[in-house]
Chain A
Amino acid sequence: MFLKEYFSTVFKSIGSLLKGMRLTGYYFTHPKEIVTEQYPDNRATLKMADRFRGEVIMPHDELNEHRCTGCQACEIACPNGSIKIITQQELQPDGKKKKRIDTWVYHLDLCTMCNLCIEACPTTAIVMGQNFEHSVFDKKQLKKILNKPGSKLKDGVE
């Protein structure tokens, strides 16, 4: 009785081990199952999901115009203080002074890509970009100014 139990344990154990080996053996002999992505090589074909949140960007059209009115809703919505908007009063052609952005400072090093600024923006002036390769050698380069030099507010955006 003892012997029978002893040998059944031995055979059961060997059987369970062989089961595992069969699985790893299967994958060893089927290189098609490999899932590795050759990342830096596949840059050309790599497509991020269209909602992927890589960084905040401010799209400018061909006339170098953006849609940011400088309302600072994004600055208030940001939980980390990664957005700083400096505004100035600009003289309009009709003689009135209006608030316009001077610099739109984006601290990428503080940003957690939570998307709250994009949600808060009333004019969709900022969107999430797809770029995810943010590594730089100097931390200072992570402080970005999103409005391009010489850009101005698109007409009709209030």
Chain B
Amino acid sequence: MSLLGEDVMTEDGEFVINMGPQHPSTHGVLHLKVWLDGEIIKKVQPHLGYIHRSIEKMSENLSYRNFIFATSRMDYLSAHMNNEACALTVEKGLAVEVPARAKVIRTLMAELTRLSSHQLWWGCTGLDLGAVTPFFYAFREREAINGIMEETCGARLTQNYMVPGGVMFDLHPNFQARTKEVIKQIKDKFDEYDQLLTGNVIFEQRTKGVGYISKEDAVSWGCTGPMARASGVSCDIRKLFPYSAYDQVKFEEILDTGGDCYARYMVRMAEMKQSVSIIEQLIDTIPEGEFQAKTKAVIKLPKGEFYQRVETARGELGVYIVSDGAASPYRVKYRSPNFSNLSALPHMSKGAKIGDLVAIMATIDLVIPDVDR
């Protein structure tokens, strides 16, 4: 029995399998050690660190203008929101007022990113549950959003569009028309999503009552984002601590009380519709003016500590900067949503089946580089 590792079978007769770091369902290099009794999961232990790139330490050696780009590589599906969080923190330190146009542009971009991120999540959820086709439908719409990003920001995934004081370039002249067109196209496709997965009896069976987490547990594990909101925890940073242009728009904070995979699924589906409505409210009323506030070439933050949080597609991202007055931060700490959300996985998957574990991981919407950073 030595080849399979010493703990192929524990003393209680439990079967130990290692899901990952190379496994089709772990969305990256997450390593889950799973103790099984037949098909039933006794214990799950996530092992992290396979894609640790020490982004926090790197940031200490980069200037305030430069360190933002690295955060695109944390949660690469909400790169805009990560960059925005850093930019907001630096602006807080500098006490710079961001022009109204830049605020609206940031909000629009963040919501487009949230839409595309949720679309990718929708496709991957289907893929994890064994339906391959949703993946391609999701990518079709995501591609349209990526096209907008490419046109205005110059890149599709790691845009690096946010700079301290505003945004790097002005919007592309085509932006408004193209966004409207894409939004219209996406709205038409929501029906297809419902036909293919939401109403499907197999999908409902696979997700309803699976991976339950109560409101109290969600709070005590530090879950945020759609995952906590599916358990009834009101934690939308956009609503509670509005930043950028979120105080100018009307939108609902989606809450569900189910706490299971299906509730998390429904929360994200409803959030997509909210994002569409936010974009529709802002797209016609982008204020004219500067897109970037004037900042010094070498930014130096005053001595002190600065914290800013934003709502990314997966939950609350906090950026904490300690400055000693130099041109680069003394210490940077990211409070990433995925790390806390993942920590609830062992609790949620106790007593579930292997197939459920995959469904739970899919609905947590894990992005492993964000966990390891």
Contact = CB atoms under 8 A, between A and B. Distances in A.
Interface of A: 12-13, 16-17, 19-20, 22-24, 35, 48-53, 77-79, 112-116, 119, 128
Nearest to A76: B63
A81 B5 CA distance: 43
Contacts of A50: 151
Contact of A114 (B140, B160, B197, B201): B160
B168 A119 contact: yes
B123 to A, nearest CB: 14
A16 B204 CA distance: 10
B1 interface: no
A128 B200 CA distance: 47
B23 to A, nearest CB: 27
A17 B200 contact: yes
Interface of B: 62, 65-67, 69-70, 133, 140, 143, 147, 150-155, 158, 160, 163, 168-169, 172, 192, 195-197, 199-202
A77 B66 contact: yes
B69 A49 contact: no
Nearest to B158: A112
B171 to A, nearest CB: 11
A51 B69 contact: no
A16 B65 CA distance: 52
B155 A113 contact: yes
Contacts of A113: 154-155, 158
Nearest to B198: A16
B69 A79 contact: yes
A20 B152 contact: no
Nearest to B153: A51
Contacts of A48: 150
Contacts of B154: 49, 51-53, 113, 115, 128
Contact of B133 (A12, A24, A49, A79): A24
Contact of B202 (A17, A19, A49, A53): A17
